Amino acid sequence: MAAQNQNLAPILILLAIAIAILYLHLTGGSGKTRLYLAAALTVVGVLLLLPSLAVPLPSWYTSWFPTPKIQLGLDLQGGSHLLLEVKLDDAVKNALKRRGEDFKRELASNKIDAEVTQDPSGAVLIKLKDPSQRSQFLDLAGRLYNDLTISQQSSEGGAVYAINFTPHELAQVRSSAMDQALETIRNRIDQLGVRETTVQREGEDRILVQLPGIQDPERAKELIGKTAVLEFKLVDDTHSVADAQRNGPPPGDQILYGRPEEGGRQAYLVESPVLMTGDVVTDARVRPGGRLEGPYVTVDLDRRGAEMFDAITAANVGRRIAIILDNTVYMAPVIKERIPEGRVQITGSFTIEEAHDLAIVLRSGALPAPVNIIEERTVGPSLGRDSIRDGELSFIIGALAVLIFMVVYYSGAGLLADFGLSLNILLLVCVMAALEATLTLPGIAGIVLTLGMSVDANVLINERMREELRAGKSPREAVKLGYERAWSAVRDSNISTFAAGLILFEFGTGPVKGFAVTLCVGILTGLFSCIVVTRAWYDYLISQRRLTTISV
């Protein structure tokens, strides 16, 4: 929270000075006071901009003054571009499997003797051992599961029914799985500490991920793609693991393996029924541990999970329970006593980084289905440097052309307009630095467009003042009427452009949002520097009775 407040401090300083100037402008404060505040605003802006210029700063500066920086986007600093494919068919199979387990419990509670399995296509197969219970089964299914279709497959040796989702429910399951995958991946990336990432849906089953400036793309890929299905199962200590490896596991058991170690992967014979899953996890944190065992991860369970874990540990004291993530046994401790608090520890000779990644995937939840990386591109820093150089060149050429034109065409008024334009760009960049916004190539284009919008406002004001002078008005009246009569046109053009920027920000993605941010912020700073700051200079001259002519 302290870090967030520190990031807000620069923008609050800028806002305070800007509001003070605006208040004095609206209430008729002296032009001299407004000029002093504008100078203070400029100084604060320069101080905020220094950290983004990659210049060495003294220690007293960094300790007493906030040092936010403008972040560079993927097109400017390089990074990783990943296109992921979500296996939605697997998500449907998993959802049907859960429905099959629910069906199995309902059948048992209603004393319907049936065998529940799942075929390779994902359909749940229910075989009634007593065909006379067919009506009872169909009545139960129709009453409780109206989102499923039930079709009879065979009646030889007992009625066999296939259970699938209705078309509407199938579409809902696929859509929900995609939304869950999108949110889970976004949460995991956010906890990596990578700023201004792009995580968005592409088509029906794909997700685009862009990671600007990522230093370890392999770690990011592993973290993104980990399904993170957490399960608790009992270890079968009544049978030999070696015999199970040679002859196959006994009915109701399965062989799983631990994490890779120097001596290979340890095999575990575990019972197939899942006692508890990771959907009851509310938090996961890394703890340092001792010198020998290394860091470990503590897992907090919700109320339902705590009650389930309490019952599991109470009923199985003396047995080993396997904590399994993505079919890998992380540990299989002996339950020495009942554990009622709903707090689990996962150890496994982790490094700090491994423990941190495990905590991230447990906190962010499980992916509903596996994801495959079908496209990967790395944007190198050389391309970023070329992009920055070209963007800077276009901005410098455009800015110089505008500044020279204003001085040549409007003389002294053009020089004052140039000051307002320069202050506008300075404030724009400073606000972006204070907000730690991301600068992209389209963002640079937005800055150039902002410069054009500011010029348009100054041109309208200067032309209005010219008209008033031609009409015989005094310089004081020409200034007053020039700003007042140009205001409606300046206001309407900037409001329409600002609204377009908001729409781009709301519905755009990635670089389009970067363009929208610089455009909207630039419009606000441009109006402030043009309408308030430049007007303060004229008001100051008027108050000193020194405005006898206007060079326009």
Q: Where are the domains of the chain?
A: 2-76+381-543, 92-166, 226-378
Provide the pLDDT for residue 419.
87
CATH class given for the domain over 92-166: alpha beta
- Compute the distance between CA of residue 284 and CA of residue 364 in angstroms, rounded to an integer: 9
**Order of strands, edge to edge, in the sheet holding 267-271?**
267-271, 253-258, 328-331, 321-325, 230-234, 276-277
Residue carrying structure tokens 């075929």: 119
Q: What is the pLDDT of residue 7?
A: 47
Candidates 3.30.1360.200, 1.10.3720.10, 3.30.530.20, 3.40.1360.10; correct CATH number of 226-378? 3.30.1360.200
CA dist 205 and 201 (Å) reads: 8
Q: What angle do CA 346, 351, 352 make, to 5 degrees?
A: 85
Element of type H or E holding 163: strand 160-165
Supply the pLDDT for residue 188: 76
107 contacts 116 by C-beta, under 8 angstroms: yes
SS3 of residue 251 by DSSP: coil
Provide the edge-to-edge strand list for the sheet that holds 281-287.
281-287, 296-301, 343-346
Please give, one letter per residue, the 3-state secondary structure of 258-291.
Answer: ECCECCECCEEEEECCCCEEHHHEEEEEEECCCC
Q: If you compute the radius of gyration of the chain from its CA atoms, what whole number of angstroms results?
A: 33
Judged by DSSP in three states, 195 sits in coil
**3-class state of residue 503 by DSSP:** helix
Pairwise CA distance, residues 426 & 245, whole Å = 70
Distance (Å, whole) CA 431 – CA 218:
34
For 165-181, how does the pLDDT look when each residue is reduced to its tens digit (9 = 90+)? 999 889 988 988 888 88
d(CA 175, CA 88): 9
C-alpha neighbours within 13 Å on the C-beta side of residue 157: 3
If you write DSSP's letter for every residue of 319-385 in order, what string do you get? SBEEEEETTEEEE--B--S---S-EEEE-SS--HHHHHHHHHHHHH---SS-EEEEEEEEE-HHHHH
Asked whether 490 and 531 are in contact (CB, 8 A), the reply is yes
State the pTM of this model: 0.54
For residue 132, the one-letter residue type is S
Whole-Å CA distances, 235 to 272, 280, 299, 464: 9, 21, 20, 86
Query: What's the rounded Cα separation, in Å, for the pair 268 and 257?
Result: 6
Residues 6+ apart with CB under 8 A from 526: 424, 428, 450, 453, 454, 457, 494
Q: How far is CA 163 from CA 87, 103, 131, 135, 315, in A?
A: 21, 10, 17, 16, 34
Strand 114-118 and strand 276-277: the pairing is: unpaired
Distances, alpha carbon 291 to alpha carbons 286, 296, 351, in Å: 15, 12, 12
Rounded (to 5) percent helix, strand, coil in the chain: 55, 20, 25
Output the pLDDT for position 382: 52
| Distance separating alpha carbons of residues 22 and 372, to the nearest angstrom | 54
Question: Could you give the angle at which helices 441-470 and 475-507 cross, rounded to 10 degrees?
Answer: 160
Token pair, residue 119, equals 């075929």
How many angstroms separate the CA atoms of 461 and 452, rounded?
Answer: 14
Q: How far is CA 470 from CA 76, 131, 273, 466, in A?
A: 50, 103, 92, 6
* CATH ID of 2-76+381-543, from 1.20.1640.10, 1.10.150.120, 1.10.287.990, 1.20.120.530: 1.20.1640.10
Residues of the chain short of pLDDT 50, as ranges, are 1-7
Type of residue numbered 415:
L
20: enclosing H helix or E strand: helix 2-26
Find the helix packing angle between 441-470 and 511-527, rounded to 10°.
Answer: 30
Distance (Å, whole) CA 122 – CA 92: 7
Distance CA 104, CA 120 (A): 19
Closest CA to 401 of 447, 460, 464, 448: 448
